Structure 1
């Protein structure tokens, strides 16, 4: 696939702080690319540099095969941005907002009118075109935010936390819309702290922390990078310390926690993890009610690679 976006060796310093430390990434045409990182990891700095909203100290940024710069208006006209904070004009109606942002790139009135209507149809805001933003719910504002960012039909779209603080129905509509945009030929760069969304949407994911790449690949490839490959949960009563110790001694087990009712075991790769644990419990005479085995989630991967400590905003 053609490479739409290439960031190579990007360095950005804020005095003594290195926000991006020779950071590189590439995004291919037609994919949904997840850019993840804890607060303060450098992902927002990266996006702002890519969009030429920030100057950087070193490195190159290429979009659509051309070097990006603040005056590269031909490139910028093909880029859409849906920011985390709703960025619309309160004094304008829904229609006027979309028309204004589309008009930044599309000057022909007939074409713009067509694009604006298609954007309204896309986010299902036909019943609200005369409303001003203050009269819209949070979910409707998010959909207006998306319409303003995509009305000019960009080829590369950045979505930054587009589903923050919206109800499940609006979230589902937004995620379906992103899939539809990709089906229509757009390439998506997606950031979110909702890992289940990233698992659902993204073809590849890059995790950035402290300004550098710490992991990159498909969801399955990322999951294979961590030691936890199976989580086993068993409901059983009265386990003694010797039994729990015997489970912990199994070669593939690296943690076993028991709360008096549920045993939770985290295990590495092994063909018979569940069977080995069940055999120990049966040999000891314990009765089991429910047994669950599940694979690690992207959230497990993220926490293991970036740590569980709280991060400053």
Structure 2
């Protein structure tokens, strides 16, 4: 009895992607998403999927780069110690660094504050054929700035423009820009690493107990922890108002880092698979020239390595002179 063929990769990854995807088509409530979900997998099964995703992502990235038409923007958001850094390192392990760039957005500099809130992100967008990874992003301006209202003063916005509707305005601006980018060939994937307050506490303690991780700890992280309810309310509002089919959010259970990596990697691979990426085809004239070069190289091999290879160049057509 013949074995049934395996379903396409996208179908196999769907169970780890679909339940987490938020595209604005329905109501969204953050409390409905469990932070400890594991997708029915154990860690060993997860590692196998993660490894397979890495290999496929490496191949897809090469095709993306060669085709030079699409670009991919991957945005990571989450509370401190939610696993953003380690997820980026693990998921993109093995991807050619020439076609992939990570931008980490810290506290805005004076120069950045002299521009609009989207400016520093816009100059870091990936070019065609590239993968751009944002570790935090322009969404910070609807999160930390919303939790700490005094930060708005540092953005030098005219006071009459700072109204109670400023957050709705920013949601609209972000969605408009993401729509514009998608219409120009940038695939946008946004991930909220949803970690529990209890798990964050354990990770902070781990950083304090292990000397090699002490550098990761900051007293400011503990201070921000006191604002947890306000951050959760801000994230709910952000995801609810900026989830679209062209720039969906994925609410990723992150109490188990290995499963977060499985879910994120699966979503990225699935999105690239849907682009049907292909290596560019060589035109007929080039194929004929390649055949001549191949023949010359093979002839050189038969006659010895000392012989020179004569490559026939195509004549260059020059524009007619203007009289």
TM-score (norm. length: structure 2): 0.29
Q: Which has the higher contact order (CA 8 A, sep 6+)?
A: 2
Structure with more helix by fraction: 2
Structure with more strand by fraction: 1
TM-score (norm. length: structure 1): 0.30
